[in-house]
Structure 1
Amino acid sequence: MTKLAKIYALLLVAVMIWLVGQFVNHSPIQTQLTALLPQSAQSEVIQAVEKYQENQLNQQIIILIGADDSERAFQAAEQRLILWQNNGLFAEVDGKINPDLRQLRQSLHTLGAATLPAEQIQQLYENPKQYFIERAEVAANPFSGSLLSLTDDWLGFSRFVLQKQANQVHWHSEHAMLYAEFNGKTWVWLRAKLNNHQPNPMLLNWWQQEKKIAQSNHYEFVASGGALFAADAKQSAERESSVMSGVGLTLTFALLLAVFRSWRVLWLALPLGVGVLMGLAAAVAVFGEIHALTLVVGTSLVGVLVDFPLHWLAPSLFRQPENGWQGTESMRYVLPSFLISLTITVVGYILLYFTPLPVLRQTAVFSAAALLGAFGATVCFLPVLMKKYVPRKMRLPNIKISPKFNYFMGILAILLCFGITKTHWQDDIRQWANLRADLLADTQLAAQISQMNATQTVILIGKKPDDLLQKSRELENRLRNVANIQTLNQWILPINEQVALKKQFANLAKQPENFAPLVALGVPSETIQAALNAAANAPTVTLSDSLNAPQAEAFRGLYVGEIAGQSVGLARIGSLKTGTNVADYLPENAFLLDKRSELNQQFTHTRNLAAWLKMGSLLVAWWVLMAIFGWRRGSVILLLPMLALMATIGVLGWLNLTIGLFVMFGLLLTLAIGVDYAVYAFHAPETAAARLMGVGLAAITTGISFGLLALSATPAVMAFGVSVALGVVFNWAAISLAIYFRLPEMFFV
């Protein structure tokens, strides 16, 4: 082993030890979809809101237990609640609500008139006598029910606080649990809070087990939460990565054993292992983590990483010197073409690092480091390890192309050109995830039961809380006739309106004719006057203080808080009339939180940027190739992969596959693969048969690994695999035809 090989081996050992240490301390594998996404270009406020909503989504799981018989639903919920509180999966599980009546009554006193609905406020200003008539009717009704007695709430403000609660969810006093009625069943509500944000596949096992238990005990179990989808994504990605890499390796080395007929060919697995090791280490070192989707894509490099060893080893089947095949001597022959291909490909990956999308940047670093690692292992280790390899001579069949082949190529070219006109270029974040159907069904059912089916969210920004409440009211007024909307102003009045209302109470205290209906019930006039004066002198209630009340649960999630010196809140919109564009109704400093549209725009920008960066790398490649081979030969080397690229796009058009960011990345990768094949075909000092075999084996192994990606359940990964597999086929065809028609010799300088 040479001195360079020993140094490289020590480096690999050090890298392996460091990487193992990273996995021991914490798993650097990330599965959250948001980790793949670019940082929002929006303001600090919008970024904070997105993080706020993400935390709400991923930190808890909403659970519903339903049955035709309400007692069965409550009993099942109570039994499961006790078990879940001690199963170690959750930080806590909430189900029982034993309200502190003293606290509830105190909060009703504190809120007072601050939460009065708009209709009652209008009555107090325009027709106060009607307000007191209605108050007297409620007071005279023995079944009206209230936490506060008549003597504690002469003016009747507390009844309106209770009316603001979500009326589809009720509290069962006997069982002390929340429940809802839906489709003839009673659904009991529970909430589980998670220990951390890390995806936990054990959640899926828990979910599946609870489904079976519910079915055997004749009740229904529904669970909804982002953590379940994250756990499924992690499990699916790990399963796909292991299966695809395992099948890819098996097929690849079965092929190599069949072709080379020597067990020593298994040493070609070494560059693969070294490549994956270096790629994984580089990604973790640069980013601190690596996403599971990057691993799935990275494992598809199995075929690409074996290209260098195959280009080196394939000529052994056709070139047998008298003293036997010499691995070191053969490496000297192909090393220059290796270096050219490696430089061009790695430069292309490095340029992709400057795109704003984390998944592309991770893949660029992983791929570049993997190629460098595999190249180093091929050059340093394989000549020594394969020293005793004895090749078995092979003869390729003598294939002659019929003159009619030109007609076939002409028809194919016309069809491919027409296919290019049928292509559809678009990005959609929904292609990045394969949402499990049964988990999605649970989420949809939970939304229907709770009637929390808001389809859009609006961010509202005010200089202070009162401005935020005014913005909320303005938005509500604009959308009242076209959508259902939940806003903060439906909960509490701005301070200035509370002050104005207190002045009105002071005026009403001097107008006994208005509260005469209560006096008619036997309530002393002085008592009502005292209550009105007390309301007039009561302190105002701020938005943040009001949301601390137990009765504010339905509105608490709408207030994000103070961000960058501004008050930020949300409005949830649902049941939009067909054809309504919410953006047309937004007041100033209100923004539609349309993350999907924003991401799609960023993906399109990234896709275009990646294309331009690749164009730049091709210009660099052209300059390098012209400097080495001359302008004619260098241009032909680039022309062949470009033709293969256009053919691939044509087939994608016929397949009606949308060309998004991942497909674009696949097309860029096919260009790099094509340049590698072309450089080898035009520069390697081997016979035509040896070059055909080298390109053919490389194409088959690469096609196997990327073809397996076409079976992925994730649409974006599937499309990526299809695009690269097609590109490899067309690159192989273009290079093989070039060798057959002796183009390398024709353009030899």
Structure 2
Amino acid sequence: MSEATRPGRLERLAAIGWAGLLLGCALLLAGLLSKGAALDTRITALLPETRQGALLEYAEQRLTQAFEDRFVLLVQGEAPARLVADLKARLEQSASVTAFDDDILHTPDSDLSAYRYRLLSPSLAAADNDAWVQRGLRQLFTPGGDADPRQDPFGLLDAWQDQRLAGPIRLIDGLPAVKDEGAAWFIVSGQLTSSPYDMAMQQRLGTALAEFSDAHSDAELLRSGLVFHAAAGAEQAKRETLTIGIGSLLGIALLLWITFRRGSILASLLLPVACGVLFALPLTWLLFGTLNLLTLAFGASLIGIAIDYALHFQCARQLAPEQPLARLWPGLLLGLISSLVAYLVQLATPLPGLRQMATFVALGLIGAWLTVRLWLPWFTPRPHAATARIATRLNRLRLPLHAPRYWGLLALLGVLAVVMIATRLSADDDLRQLNPSPAELITEQQRVQILLDSPTASRYLLVTAEQEGELLERLEALDADLADLEAQGHLTHYRHLAQAVPSKATQDANLERVRQAYRNALPELIAQAGLPPALLETAQRSLESVPLLTITTWLDTPVGQADAMLWLGADADDERADMAALITLGDADSTAQQALARLAAPEYVLYQDRVATLSSHLAQLRDQIALCLAIAVAGLAMIFGVRYRGRAWCVLLPPLGALLATLALLSALNIGLTLFHLLGLLLVLGIGLDAGIFSTEHPDSAAVWLAISLSCASSLLAFGLLAFSATPALHYLGLTCLIGLASAWALVPFARAGARSLSSRQDTP
């Protein structure tokens, strides 16, 4: 070790202190692992944190609770009773299901018998006396019927239930089922034992279903529920963590071995990466309380960035050992700062997942840089002759000082890029870019929802009122328009509490209509049926005191529990005492969406399209990131202008040229710009700045050109694998970096030539 490279006493103490800090991180990581700290598999962690009103947040919470911990399975095959029994038994044995919906077709007769005279179907309300008599006769003389001539001679509750609670689910052979083109799908649904993101429960549930499918190869099974999407996302994240992390590590290791041919040098290059991960992993986990698997998949790209510092260090050490290391530190520090700026901008975003990713990578970069600065000067591996040969050959790829044709071509491409961006660049804020679920699973989910005619909770109307009666009246007032939209095919379905609990005015009107029928139609029914005349007085006496059906009473019944998510009560918002309820909506076309927006014109009605709202948040966030990117470019341009003065454009050419090239290529391929493309551009900016800084600091250095080339190649390996990710967000980010980094490397020769030309002019008297 020469005097020029020998660490001082202060650096020795700092190296020891860094070792102690890493030891503490290792102990912290061991503690987190031993405690079984939670791993988060939610792709929705990438979604913005919305600041909604308390009432709207409460509504979102109720809908989430109603749907997220439930599942629905549809099974079809021979001997359905045996299939359903076996499926339930396997699910119970897996300890993944806490309860099944065995009462899915519970009849409310016994629960609502006291309120039957206030629950009148629209067809009976509009019927004349003869129609009432004929219905009563059918109730009395239908074989197998359960008529009650004293309490309900006209079958009021049956008629109301048939029209108001009608749905696609029917009992077939004693089992709940739905029909699809003549074939029957039998329903197995219930509640999970834990969160749908619990990976242990996901595995048990998946194993039980796989064993069922293996045992009944001829049976068909359809799945619906958040747990299946969460399990698919977790499996994909784990798979991509292995392929991206291990794949990039092996690719980079092979690249570095071919270049340096020394195991000790290879170890010294990978040591900063390992220390960076060891430093970042437990601290990020501790700061956020959980660790998203997407953070690990994205953090695999840290391999292609953190190794930059070690590459510049070792290339300088191997190819110019006589040079003091002090010449290298300013460029490395400036490279770290510029990369941190590019990453830490993401901390300003309202996306928890991206903030966690940014924190992980930023800490990893700091850890890698400190390892290079404090530890690597102590290692002096012997260089291999192949390294110098490769650097010499690579250094021939340089641009002559006077090459107007190349500069003219570059200028032409720049103009074309600007024109392409200005005329063809578009945006894409479709929320589906966050959905990593397999197409097969999405198709199954949609088919189940169509067969069951079930709400998706992605659209709803929120209605408020001061009193329960007023709330029910407002729900009824909206019903007519919603029914028209459904009848015209613009809205698949809708559901609200007033369909089961009419307003007081409607219940009073129903009761009066029933009393009228008992006065006019019941005597004729008794006469034609040959019933005792005394029955008339007994039946009419039951109409004297009829209780009012309330929302609370309805929700307390087994059949009414399914509507619990629609009721927000009066305590949903601390600032307002209004009662609130939801109207859940099915799929709506553009006509229905416009009509729903009009229905929400009164201040007591709010229309919420969760997908559209989140897409709007993504669009706003994309604009914010674009602004941050512009501010970062302007700020860095000022910093480099102060340091490099006339050479500042040489520093900025690789990163800014790469941004233009990437946006132009995306425009040419008609790929809409998303939030994640912009995040990728931030990374391109950070890595491209490293190349620009070192090529400007040392324009004639073969070691620097080799380090830049290896850095870009290693980053391309890491981000190239991200571009093939099945997670759309990671794919967009990786594709952007793949294009941008290749462009940045191709522009470095121009930056070197410009820096050499300016240096030669300054040296000329």
Instruction: Give the TM-score taking structure 2 as reference length.
Output: 0.87
Instruction: Name the CA shift for 1:8/1:110 in 2 (closer, same or farther; >3 Å).
Output: farther
Residue deviations 1:188-242, cap 9 Å, x none? 2111421211243413343333333332xx3222221110110110110111011
CA distance in 1, matches of 2:235, 2:213: 19
C-alpha deviation, 1:700, in angstroms: 0.7
Q: Is 1:735 matched with 2:748? A: yes
- 1:195 has 2:193 as partner: yes
- The answer to which of 707-716 and 437-446 deviates more is 437-446
C-alpha deviations, 1:57-101, integer Å up to 9, x for none? 32122112212x5xx0112111222232122232334458797x9
Could you say what secondary structure the match of 1:26 adopts? coil
SS in 2 for 1:440: helix
1:424 aligned partner: 426
Report the 3-state secondary structure (helix = DSSP H, G, I; strand = E; otherwise coil) of the residue aligned with 1:39.
Answer: coil
Cα distance between partner residues in 1 of 2:356 and 2:104: 47
Question: Which residues of 2 match residues 312-461 of structure 1 at below 5 A?
Answer: 312-321=313-322, 329-330=324-325, 332-384=326-378, 386-392=379-385, 393-394=388-389, 395-397=391-393, 398-399=396-397, 404-406=405-407, 408-420=409-421, 421-452=423-454, 457-461=459-463
Deviation at 1:307, TM superposition (A): 0.7
Does the C-alpha gap of structure 1 residues 554 and 144 become closer, same or farther in structure 2, counting only changes over 3 Å? farther
Alpha carbons of structure 1 residues 633 and 374: separation in structure 2 relative to 1, 3 Å: same
Contact 1:633 1:748 in 2 (8 A): no
Match of 2:542, SS state, is: helix
Change in CA separation of 1:542 and 1:746 when aligned onto 2, cut-off 3 Å: farther
Distance change >3 Å, CA 118–CA 111, structure 1 → 2: same
Task: Find 2:501's aligned residue among 461, 486, 492.
Answer: 492
SS at match of 1:396: helix
Give the AA of the match of 2:87: R
Whether the 8 Å contact between 2:139 and 2:154 is mirrored in structure 1 is no
SS in structure 2 at match of 1:52: helix
Of 529, 536, 539, the match for 1:521:
529
Aligned partners of 1:652, 1:575: CA distance in 2, in Å?
Answer: 32
The more displaced of 200-209 and 349-358 is 200-209
In the alignment, the residues of structure 2 paired with residue 248 and residue 743 of structure 1 have an alpha-carbon distance, to the nearest angstrom, of 37
Does structure 2 retain, via aligned residues, the 8 Å contact 1:114–1:492?
no
* Cross-structure match for 1:22: 32
Instruction: Give the 5 Å matches for 1:520-559.
Output: 520-524=528-532, 527-552=535-560, 555-559=563-567
Counterpart Cα distance in 2 of 1:97 and 1:454: 18
Distance across 2 between alignment mates of 1:97 and 1:593 = 28
Secondary structure, in 3 states, of the residue corresponding to 2:99?
Answer: strand
User: Residue 121 and residue 20 in structure 1: after superposition, are their counterparts in 2 closer, same or farther (change >3 A)?
Assistant: farther
TM-score (ref. length: structure 1):
0.89
Kindly tell me: are residues 400 and 598 of structure 1, through their superposed partners in 2, closer, same or farther at Cα, counting changes over 3 Å? closer
CA–CA separation in structure 1 for the residues paired with 2:119 and 2:32: 54
Distance 2:656 2:544 in 1: 80
Shift of 1:161: 4.2
Matches within 5 A, 1:473-622: 473-483=476-486, 484-502=493-511, 511=519, 515-524=523-532, 527-552=535-560, 555-562=563-570, 563-564=572-573, 565-574=577-586, 579-581=591-593, 582-587=595-600, 588=602, 589-622=604-637
CA distance in 1, matches of 2:103, 2:116: 28
Structure-to-structure mapping, 1:708-727, within 5 angstroms: 708-727=721-740
Deviations 1:697-720 (A, max 9, x none): 111111110111111112221121
Alpha-carbon contact 1:244-1:705 (below 8 Å) kept = yes
* 2:82 is the counterpart of 1:75: yes
Contact 1:352 1:360 in 2 (8 A): yes
Q: In structure 2, what is the equivalent of residue 50 of structure 1?
A: 60
The 1:668/1:388 distance shift into structure 2, 3 A limit, reads closer
Corresponding position of 2:51 = 41
C-alpha distance in 2 between matches for 1:168 and 1:606: 41
* CA distance in structure 2 between the aligned counterparts of 1:577 and 1:731, rounded to whole angstroms: 45
Amino acid aligned to 1:571 = I
Mapping for residues 146-185 of structure 1, pairs under 5 Å: 146=146, 149-163=148-162, 164-172=164-172, 175=174, 177-185=175-183
The separation in 2 between residues aligned to 1:345 and 1:501, in whole angstroms, is 72
1:473–1:487 Cα contact (<8 Å) kept: no
CA offset digits 1:723-749 (Å, max 9, x no partner): 112111122222222213425626879
Change (3 A) 1:44 1:134: farther
After superposition, the C-alpha distances for 1:479-503 in whole angstroms (9 at most, x for unaligned) are: 3222243332221211343245445
Residue 22 of structure 1 and its aligned partner are, at CA, apart by 2.1
Does the Cα contact within 8 Å between 1:506 and 1:536 map onto a contact in 2? no
Instruction: Give the residue type in structure 1 aligned to 2:181.
Output: N
Q: How many residues align?
A: 723
Once superposed, what is the RMSD of the aligned Cα atoms?
2.9
Does the Cα contact within 8 Å between 2:654 and 2:743 map onto a contact in 1?
no
* Native 8 Å contact 1:640 1:678 kept in 2: yes
Specify the code of the residue in structure 2 equivalent to 1:86.
Q
1:560-606 residue CA offsets vs partner (Å, 9 max, x unmatched): 44422443333344475774434344243333331121111111111
Q: What SS does the aligned partner of 1:539 have?
A: coil
Amino acid at match of 1:240: E
Aligned to 2:489: none
Change in Cα spacing, 1:251 to 1:30, as seen in structure 2 (3 Å) is same
Structure 2: 5+ residue stretches without partners: 1-10, 487-492
Q: 2:5 matched to which residue of 1? A: none
Deviations 1:401-438 (A, max 9, x none): 57643454355334423432322222222112222122
Question: What corresponds to 1:263 in structure 2?
Answer: 263
* Structure 1 position 305, deviation (Å): 0.7
Larger CA deviation: 8-17 vs 105-114: 105-114
Confirm or deny: 8 A CA contact 1:662 1:717 kept in the other structure.
yes
Supply the distance in 2 between the matched residues of 1:111 and 1:743 (Cα, whole angstroms): 93
* 8 Å contact from structure 1 (residues 115, 160) kept in 2: no
Identical-pair percentage: 22
Q: 1:161 to 1:370 in 2, by over 3 A?
A: same
C-alpha offsets along residues 654-713 of structure 1, whole Å, 9 cap, x if unaligned?
A: 2222210000001111111122221222235x8421221121111111111011111111
* Alignment partner of 1:655 out of 661, 666, 669: 669
Q: How do 1:187-266 residues align onto structure 2 when only pairs under 5 Å count?
A: 187-197=185-195, 198-200=197-199, 201-202=202-203, 203-215=205-217, 218-265=218-265, 266=267
